[in-house]
A = this chain, B = another copy of it.
Amino acid sequence: MAIAKAGATNNTFGSLVTGANVMKVPGLNTLGVSMARIDYAPGGINPPHTHPRATEMIFVLEGELDVGFITTSNVLITKHIVKGEVFAFPRGLVHFQQNNGDVPAAVVAGFNSQLPGTQSIATTLFASSPSVPDHVLTKTFQVGTKEIQKIKSRLAPKK
């Protein structure tokens, strides 16, 4: 299994996750670990998301990143990390990484689950199938249907 090459990052978020979990590496079954490589274009973001079944620890392969997670007390913890530095995102908490530099960045991530699972928050709420009803989202974000539908259209899967 190789996750050697930089993933193609010319997409909406300017980032790509290439997983090496039990779905791709069957030998990981029962071992309780997996890895992933994440590439970021300049300006790219791995947008706020959670892993329901794993803590994640990253090692910066190249470039620089602004990383953060929010605690259950609603406190945002952030750090600027550079090549060779590590950072951990506790199990189940919303977190993100952004490349605010001028050159590509990349990390390798280790997880304490063979299948961490991912919920990318914006996609989860605005682009699921079927769709989360507008009246749930207007209540949730306290804005009108117009704003909700705008976000939905922006995040809709490309055809």
Contacts and interface: CB of A to CB of B under 8 A. Distances in A.
Tallying the copies of this chain within the complex gives 6
B150 A154 contact: no
B70 A128 contact: yes
B110 A93 contact: no
Given A35-B59, A53-B92, A57-B110, 19 more contacts: A3-B84, A3-B85, A3-B86, A13-B139, A31-B88, A31-B90, A33-B57, A33-B110, A45-B139, A50-B94, A51-B92, A52-B91, A52-B93, A61-B61, A75-B128, A76-B128, A98-B139, A112-B112, A147-B150
20 contacts: A2-B85, A4-B60, A4-B83, A4-B84, A20-B86, A25-B86, A25-B88, A28-B88, A31-B88, A32-B55, A35-B57, A48-B124, A53-B91, A53-B92, A59-B108, A68-B136, A91-B92, A96-B140, A108-B110, A147-B150
Interface of A: 1-5, 12-14, 20, 25, 27-28, 31-35, 37, 45, 47-48, 50-53, 55-57, 59-61, 68, 70, 72, 74-76, 78, 82-86, 88, 90-94, 96, 98, 108-113, 117-119, 121-132, 135-136, 139-143, 147, 150-151, 154-155
